[in-house]
Amino acid sequence: MERRVSDYLRELPFLWLNVDDEPSADSQRAYIERNTIALLSNYQRDAVDARSDDWLGQYSRSEKIRESGLWNVNHVDEAYDPAFLDDIAAAIDDTDSV
């Protein structure tokens, strides 16, 4: 299953953000990551973007993976801070100018 997931992920488009700070639990990059996961998670809430019936995560042993629709279990049960959207927009603008 891990190989299938890796093959699938390899085909997805990615956006790399230029967030120029040292990695730490209190860094800007951690703040963006934490809030992005919380925003995209369907865990214990109505799914805005429900996964397809053939999504591989539905076979996971992890309830958080199955219910969140994400492969990450960290932060899926948290609320996101709407202010982070301004920070991610600024990071996108900074990345575009690099």
Enter the pTM of the model: 0.80
Q: How confident is the model at residue 97 (pLDDT cuts 50, 70, 90)?
A: low
Q: How confident is the model at residue 49 (pLDDT cuts 50, 70, 90)?
A: confident
pLDDT, average across residues 45-68: 91
- What 3-state DSSP class applies to 57? helix
CA-CA distance, 80 to 32, in Å (whole number)? Answer: 10
